[in-house]
């Protein structure tokens, strides 16, 4: 769960104009394109995939899809060329495995990455700053998520520690990750967009981890007595963050925030013997109170999408495209008698 959350949270700065890649190696990289190429010992004809978000709807719903492909040629080389005018992040995969879970791409740049079937670690050209960015992510994931001892300790902590103990553990891990970032780039001038992305990923993963721990306990029927200080990380600036709106890590945080906040309200309603509010309607109330602008749209997209999958709702939303947000929102409000 946590590895997947972190990996997916890597796709942070998205370009909403699509432009699929052109495979001609004669294409030259320009200010509005990005090239990914390299050498591998994978056999000729092996297909490589770039996965990303094709538009804002897919981003808000955390729906990854293949946006480009490349075949390994007879020399072991592969090549991608994408039209991009902003920094973007993708996953690079084969049919069977993820080669690079967080591939930070800069327009106007060529990114050289080599692969060996005998190694899990890709070879980045770290003499280029873009190579160092991507090497940092691989090392961060290896250190805090893939390393066997780290995985084992997380499993023990998330399943057997009390709330205070887990809070201490996850807070210490965040501080170590922040220190890891600072140490890795201590002698390097880092682009402000990349720094914002990398640090946001750490902070929103931390917040998601904390809420997911509580949600898991509820799912298991554990009666929780959590001190209010456990939620001190939920500052207004963390919850409503316009600068992070194009970051899937933030979108995933929003989804967990809606679920956890709703479940905490239900607990209070049950304690006070009050009627429990319908999930979709109450989450709507939470969303319009705590979010605004694009962040509110992202929250409402997820609430409506979950409602569309509910029993008996196929006719209500029939033939309405996911991209038709205004129509979906109108039907949702009509269903729950919501008036502005």
Question: Helix or strand or coil: residue 47?
Answer: strand
> What's the distance, Cα to Cα, between the start and end of the chain in Å?
38
Looking at residue 167, its pLDDT comes to 94
Looking at residue 103, its pLDDT comes to 92
In order of their start, the domains of the chain are 7-125 (2.60.40)
User: Model pTM?
Assistant: 0.85
Q: How far apart are CA 18 and CA 108, in angstroms?
A: 16
* Residue in 155, 237, 163, 226 with CA at minimum distance from that of residue 203: 237
Q: How far apart are CA 46 and CA 70, in angstroms?
A: 8
Cβ–Cβ < 8 Å for 230, 170: no
Name beta bridge partners: 111.
36
Q: Give the strand pairing for 98-105 and 88-93.
A: antiparallel
Distance of alpha carbon 14 from the chain centroid: 11
DSSP line for 301-314: HHHHHHHHTSTT-T
| pLDDT averaged per 10 residues, the chain (length 340) | 49 39 47 90 95 88 92 96 83 92 89 87 90 95 90 87 92 97 95 91 95 93 87 95 85 96 92 87 96 95 93 85 94 90
Looking at residue 33, its pLDDT comes to 86
Cβ–Cβ < 8 Å for 12, 197: yes
- CA distances from residue 79 to 73, 122, 225, 247, 313 in whole angstroms, order as listed: 9, 15, 54, 26, 44
């Amino acid at each position: 769960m946590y590895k997947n959350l972190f990996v997916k949270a890597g796709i942070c700065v998205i370009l909403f104009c699509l432009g699929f890649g052109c495979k001609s190696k004669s294409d030259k990289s320009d200010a509005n394109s990005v090239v990914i190429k390299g050498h591998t010992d994978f056999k000729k004809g092996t297909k490589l995939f770039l996965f990303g978000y094709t538009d804002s709807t897919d981003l808000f719903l955390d729906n990854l899809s293949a946006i480009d492909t490349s075949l390994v040629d007879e020399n072991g080389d592969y090549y991608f060329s994408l039209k991009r005018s902003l920094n973007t992040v993708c996953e690079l995969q084969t049919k069977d495995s993820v080669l690079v879970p967080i591939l930070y791409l800069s327009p106007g740049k060529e990114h050289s990455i080599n692969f060996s079937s005998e190694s899990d670690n890709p070879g980045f050209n770290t003499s280029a700053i873009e190579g160092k960015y991507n090497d940092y992510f691989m090392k961060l994931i290896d250190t805090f998520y893939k390393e066997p001892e780290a995985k084992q300790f997380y499993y023990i902590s998330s399943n057997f520690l009390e709330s205070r103990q887990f809070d201490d553990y996850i807070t210490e891990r965040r501080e170590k990750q922040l220190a890891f970032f600072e140490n890795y780039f201590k002698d390097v001038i880092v682009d402000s967009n990349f720094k914002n992305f990398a640090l946001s990923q750490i902070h929103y993963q931390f917040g998601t981890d904390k809420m997911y721990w509580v949600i898991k306990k509820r799912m298991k029927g554990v009666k929780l007595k959590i001190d209010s200080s456990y939620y001190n990380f939920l500052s207004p600036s963390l919850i409503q963050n316009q600068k992070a709106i194009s970051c899937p890590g933030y979108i995933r945080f929003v989804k967990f925030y809606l679920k956890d906040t709703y479940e905490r309200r239900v607990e209070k309603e049950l304690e006070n013997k009050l009627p429990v509010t319908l999930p979709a309607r109450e989450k709507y109330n939470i969303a319009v109170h705590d979010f605004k602008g694009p962040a509110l749209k992202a929250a409402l997209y997820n609430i409506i999408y979950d409602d569309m999958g509910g029993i008996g709702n196929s006719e209500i939303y029939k033939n309405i495209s996911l991209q038709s947000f205004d129509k979906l929102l109108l039907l949702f409000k009509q269903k729950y008698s919501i008036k502005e």
